[in-house]
Amino acid sequence: MPKAEQPTATLAKIVATIGPASDSPEMVRKLIDAGVAVFRFNFSHGDFASHGKRLATVRAVAAEMNRPIACLGDLQGPKIRVGKVPEGGIDLPAGHDVIFRVGLEIARVEPQGHGADPIVVLPVTYEPLVREVEPGHKVLVNDGAIRMLAVESSPDRGELRCRVIVGGLVTSGKGINLPQSNISAPAITDRDWECARWAVQNGLDFVALSFVRRAEEVTELKNRLAAMSAEIHGTGPNDPTRWTPVVAKIEKPQALADLDRIVQEADGIMVARGDLGVEMDIARVPVSQKEIVAKCAEHGKPCVVATQMLETMIENATPTRAEASDVANAVFDGADAVMLSAETATGKHPVLVVETMRRIIAVAEARVASLPRKDAPPQRVLDRHSPIAALAHGAWHVAQGTAAKAIAVWSQWGGSARYLSQNNFLIPIIAYSSNPVATRRMALYAGVTAVCSPPPPDGTFSSWFTGVDAFVISSGLASPGDPVLFLAGKPLGTPKVVNTITTRRVGE
In this predicted model, what pLDDT tens digit does every residue of 18-44 receive, in sequence order? 999 999 999 999 999 999 999 999 998
> What pLDDT, on a 0 to 100 scale, did the predictor assign at position 424?
84
Give the pairing of strands 108-110 and 138-141: unpaired
Give the start-to-end residue ranges of the domains of the chain.
Answer: 13-77+188-369, 80-177, 383-505
What is the predicted pLDDT for the residue at 8? 46
Give the per-residue pLDDT at 489: 83
Task: Write down the pLDDT at residue 149.
Answer: 97
* pLDDT confidence of residue 1: 44
Residues 6+ apart with CB under 8 A from 171: 82, 85, 88, 89
Fold topology of 13-77+188-369: TIM Barrel (3.20.20)
- Which pTM does this prediction carry? 0.90
CB 440 within 8 A of CB 37: no
Neighbours of 404 (CB within 10 A): 23
Q: Which CATH class is domain 80-177?
A: mainly beta
DSSP codes joined into one string, 341-398: SHHHHT-S-HHHHHHHHHHHHHHHHHHHHHSPPPSSPPP-TTGGG-HHHHHHHHHHHH
Rounded CA-CA distance 462/495 in Å is 19
Question: Which regions of the chain are under pLDDT 50?
Answer: 1-8
pLDDT tens column, 423-446: 888 899 999 999 999 999 999 999
User: Is the CATH code 3.20.20.70 the one for domain 383-505?
Assistant: no
The 3-state DSSP composition of the chain as helix, strand, coil percent (nearest 5) reads 40, 25, 40
User: Quick check: helix, strand or coil at residue 168?
Assistant: strand
The fraction of the chain above a pLDDT of 70, given in percent, is 95
CB 30 within 8 A of CB 497: no
